[in-house]
A = this chain, B = another copy of it.
Amino acid sequence: MSLSKEIAEMIIKMLDDGDSTAEIRRNDLAQRIGCVPSQINYVIASRFTPEHGYIVESHRGGGGYIRITRANYDLSTLKMHLINSIGSQVDEKTCRANIINLFDRGLLTDEQARLILTATAEKNYRDLPEELRNSFRAVLLKQMLLATMN
Q: Give Cα A116–Cα B148 distance, bound, in whole angstroms.
A: 11
Q: Determine the main DSSP class of A at the interface with B.
A: helix
Nearest chain B residue, comparing its CB with the CB of A119: B119
Nearest chain B residue, comparing its CB with the CB of A150: B114
Residue from A63, A118, A136, A147 whose CB has the most chain B CB atoms within 10 Å: A118
Interface pick from A26-34, A72-80, A137-145: A137-145
Number of interface residues of A (CB under 8 A): 33
Nearest chain B residue, comparing its CB with the CB of A126: B139
Of the residues B109, B115, B125, B129, contact of A116 by C-beta under 8 Å: B115
Q: Give Cα A5–Cα B144 distance, bound, in whole angstroms.
A: 29
Q: CB within 8 Å of B: which residues of A?
A: 1-5, 61-63, 109, 111-112, 114-119, 121, 124-125, 127-129, 132, 135-136, 139-140, 143-144, 146-148
A-B contact pairs, 25 of them (CB 8 A): A2-B61, A2-B62, A3-B63, A4-B62, A4-B63, A111-B112, A112-B115, A115-B115, A115-B116, A115-B119, A115-B144, A115-B147, A118-B140, A118-B144, A119-B140, A119-B143, A119-B144, A121-B143, A124-B136, A124-B139, A124-B143, A127-B132, A127-B135, A128-B136, A129-B129
